[in-house]
Amino acid sequence: MQIFTKAFWLQLSSPKVFYPVAGKLAPWFAIAAAILFVIGLYVGFFVAPPDYQQKDSYRIMFIHVPLAWMAMFVYIVMCGYAAIGLIWKTRLSTMMASALAPTGAMLTFLGLWTGALWGKPTWGAYWVWDARLTSFLILLFLYMGYMALENAIDDPQRASRASALLGLVGIVNIPIIYFSVKWWNTLHQGMSVSTSGISMEPSMKIAMFTLAFAVWFYTIAIALTRVRSIILERERHAAWVVDLAKAGGR
């Protein structure tokens, strides 16, 4: 089988090969994300029982927690791509990093927003200066700095390498976010999902993980779509892009 050879996977790192592949894959991830969103939201809002303490207000957790997970995960993946691009000078990796940054920033912002809406009924305030909230705010700043630096430099090569380095420096922040719960014992409740045992109803678990996958697939679909635009923009002088434009962009 062609798919099991190393060469097949390596040729995907060429923007020319990856451009049509991304175009074929993106709709499938978008459809999968939409289906999972519907299932996850239905289970979360109608099947899962109300919490004995927080009543129905806890249900925002089904959106908040997947967003927050994904926001951190995207940062790590983005920095991974950035590092690959910095080390092996592969063009597509830096493009993927640029494509992920705006989605990551949006997820972080929505994570903070839904967290604020959850905080009001639970703690009585939209915002508390607790360690986890604060480090999430810092994550938003890091995304903003990453994008600002990339946009401030005109040469795309230099821009992607500079922002890649910044991302690698900023990734020091991710462990701080993750362990801040243990470091500072504050208002924020402990982690709902732990490896030793999950303190939730099965239907709650289903809703949360379904939505986690929904957000994940959504991110993939958006990143693939965005990377196609970035490929066209940065490779606009390449012969295959010119041919593509002449053929009507198909």
Partner 1 sequence: MIEAMRWMLWREIALAMRRKTEVLTTLFFFIIVVSLFPLGVGPEKETLSQIAPGVLWVAALLASMLSLNRLYAEDYLDGTLEQFLLGAQPLALLVFSKILAHWLLTGLPLVLMSPVLGMQLGLDVDSILLMALTLLIGTPALSLIGSVGAGLTLGVRGGGVLLALLVLPLYIPVLIFGSGAVDAARTGVGADAHLSILGAISVLAALLAPWASAAALRISLD
Residue ranges that bind partner 1, judged by CB under 8 A: 134, 138, 141-142, 144-145, 148-149, 152-153, 157-158, 161-162, 165-166, 168-170, 172-173, 176
CB of 142 to partner 1, least distance (A): 6
Q: Coil, helix or strand for 193?
A: strand
CB of 138 to partner 1, least distance (A): 5
CB of 191 to partner 1, least distance (A): 21
Q: Which amino acid would we find at residue 18?
A: F
166 or 227, CB closer to partner 1?
A: 166
As given in the structure block, the two tokens for residue 47 are 């099947």
35 or 169, CB closer to partner 1?
A: 169
CB of 144 to partner 1, least distance (A): 6
136 or 216, CB closer to partner 1?
A: 136
76 or 242, CB closer to partner 1?
A: 76
93 or 210, CB closer to partner 1?
A: 93
As given in the structure block, the two tokens for residue 38 are 């519907």
CB of 169 to partner 1, least distance (A): 6
CB of 226 to partner 1, least distance (A): 22
136 or 218, CB closer to partner 1?
A: 136
Handedness of CA 50, 53, 55, 60 (dihedral sign): negative
